[in-house]
C-alpha cells in the first residue's frame, strides 16, 4: 500500500483523463443531433430544456476538469511528488462528471440513446468503470476529506485561505470570471472544516463525504478561474467562452458548498437553528446565493457557442 500510494497521484490522473474522453465523445454526438432534430417547429438546439440541462453543464464540467488536470499534470512533469490527494480529486470529479454526461447523452437522444447505432449506450457502459477501479468514488471521498482536513488543521486554515486570497486577487484583475464566488466558497469551506473538527464530526462518514465534495469543487473551480483569467489577459479567442463557463461553474460550486455546509450544520444534530444562522451570517454564506446572478444568460452564451447558433 505504501508503494501504491507513491503512484496514485498520476495513475488516478490517468483514469480521470480516460473518463474525459468518453465525456467529450458524448458531447460530440448529442450536439450535432440537436441541430438536426426538429420538435414543435424548431431544433432541439434552440430549446433551453435540452441545452441548459443536458449539454451545457457537462461542457462546463469538462472544461473545469481539464483545467485542473492540466495543472496537476504539469506539477507531476515538473518533478513534484506526493500528489495522491490531487489525483483523487481529479478522478472523483472527472469520472463522476463523465458518468453523468453519458447518462444525459442517452436522455438527450431519447429512444435512439438505447440503440448501438448512436454509440452513447456504449459510452455509458465504458465510462462507468472509471468510477470504480483505481479506487471507487467513495474511496476518493475518504482520501480527499481526510487529507484536506489534516492539512487545514496543520496550516491553521492557511491552505484554503490561500485559495481565497488568490481568488480575491484574480477577481481584482478580471472581475467577470467568477473568482469572487470561488473565494467565498473557499472561506465557507475553511470555516466548515474547523467547525467539523471542533465538534468531532470527522467520525461521521457522511459529513466527511460532504466535505470531500466541497473540497473537490472549490479546488477544481480555482483552476478554472486561473485558466479563465490567464486567457483573458492574453487576449485569447477562447477567453469569453471560458470566462462564461467559469461563472457558470462558480454558481455550481457556490450552491454545492452552501447546501453541504447547511446539511452538516442542520443534519448532524449538534447545532440548533440559532447556531446555524449565526454561522451563515458570519461566514459569507449569504453572499454565496448571489452566484446565480445572470447564470441563465451565461448558459445562453455558452449554448450559442457550442451549437453555433
Contact 123, 105 (CB under 8 A): yes
178 and 267 fall within a common domain = yes
Within-domain flag for 271? yes
Q: Where are the alpha helices (DSSP H) in the chain?
A: 2-36, 48-50, 56-77, 84-109, 120-128, 137-154, 158-173, 179-198, 205-234, 239-267, 273-282, 285-288, 295-306
143 and 286 fall within a common domain = yes
Amino acid 309: pLDDT:
85
154 and 27 fall within a common domain = no
204 and 118 fall within a common domain = no
122 and 162 fall within a common domain = no
DSSP string covering 48-104: HHHIIIIIHHHHHHHHHHHHHHHHHHHHHHTT----HHHHHHHHHHHHHHHHHHHHH
Query: Which residues, in sequence order, are CB contacts of 154 under 8 Å at separation 6+?
Result: none
Within-domain flag for 221? yes
**Interval 37-87: pLDDT, tens:** 888 878 899 899 999 999 999 999 999 999 999 999 999 999 988 899 999
Count of CB atoms situated within 10 Å of the CB of 55: 26
176 and 108 fall within a common domain = no
pTM: 0.94
Domain count, the chain: 2
Radius of gyration of the chain (CA): 20
Within-domain flag for 70? yes
Share of the chain above pLDDT 90, in %: 80
Find, among 247, 257, 239, 254, the residue nearest to 296 by Cα.
Answer: 247
Domain extent, residue 55, equals 2-135
**Interval 152-192: pLDDT, tens:** 999 999 999 999 999 999 999 999 999 999 999 999 999 99
Residue that has been written with the C-alpha cell 496514485 in this structure: 8
214 and 170 fall within a common domain = yes
Distance CA 127, CA 136 (A): 13
CATH number for the domain including 190? Answer: 1.20.140
CATH number for the domain including 22? Answer: 1.20.140.10
Indicate the residue among 135, 169, 199 that finishes a domain. 135
256 and 152 fall within a common domain = yes
Amino acid 284: pLDDT:
77
167 and 272 fall within a common domain = yes
* 242 three-class SS: helix
Indicate the residue among 91, 110, 135 that finishes a domain. 135
What is the band of 261 on the pLDDT scale with cuts at 50, 70, 90? very high
Amino acid at each position: 500500500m505504501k508503494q501504491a500510494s507513491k503512484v496514485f497521484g498520476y495513475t488516478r490522473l490517468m483514469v480521470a483523463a480516460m473518463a474525459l474522453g468518453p465525456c467529450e465523445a458524448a458531447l460530440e454526438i448529442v450536439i450535432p443531433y440537436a441541430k438536426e432534430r426538429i420538435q414543435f417547429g424548431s431544433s432541439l438546439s434552440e430549446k433551453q430544456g435540452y441545452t441548459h440541462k443536458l449539454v451545457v453543464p457537462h461542457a462546463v464540467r469538462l472544461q473545469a476538469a481539464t483545467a485542473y488536470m492540466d495543472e496537476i499534470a504539469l506539477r507531476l512533469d515538473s518533478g513534484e511528488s506526493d500528489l495522491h490527494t490531487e489525483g483523487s480529486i481529479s478522478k472523483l470529479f472527472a469520472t463522476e462528471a463523465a458518468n453523468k454526461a453519458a447518462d444525459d447523452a442517452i436522455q438527450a437522444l431519447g429512444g435512439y440513446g438505447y440503440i448501438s447505432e448512436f454509440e452513447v449506450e456504449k459510452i455509458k457502459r465504458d465510462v462507468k468503470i472509471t468510477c470504480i477501479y483505481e479506487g471507487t468514488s467513495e474511496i476518493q471521498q475518504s482520501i480527499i476529506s481526510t487529507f484536506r482536513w489534516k492539512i487545514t488543521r496543520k496550516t491553521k486554515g492557511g491552505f484554503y485561505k490561500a485559495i481565497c486570497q488568490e481568488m480575491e486577487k484574480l477577481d481584482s484583475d478580471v472581475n467577470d470570471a467568477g473568482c469572487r464566488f470561488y473565494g467565498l466558497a473557499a472561506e465557507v469551506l475553511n470555516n466548515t472544516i474547523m467547525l467539523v473538527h471542533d465538534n468531532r464530526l470527522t467520525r461521521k462518514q457522511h459529513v466527511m463525504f460532504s466535505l470531500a465534495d466541497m473540497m473537490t469543487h472549490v479546488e477544481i473551480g480555482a483552476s478554472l478561474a486561473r485558466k479563465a483569467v490567464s486567457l483573458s489577459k492574453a487576449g485569447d479567442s477562447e477567453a469569453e467562452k471560458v470566462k462564461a463557463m467559469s461563472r457558470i461553474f462558480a454558481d455550481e460550486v457556490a450552491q454545492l458548498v452552501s447546501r453541504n455546509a447547511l446539511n452538516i450544520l442542520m443534519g448532524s444534530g449538534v447545532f440548533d437553528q440559532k447556531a446555524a444562522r449565526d454561522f451563515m451570517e458570519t461566514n459569507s454564506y449569504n453572499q454565496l446565493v448571489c452566484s446565480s446572478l445572470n447564470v441563465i444568460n451565461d448558459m445562453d452564451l455558452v449554448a450559442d457557442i457550442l451549437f453555433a447558433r
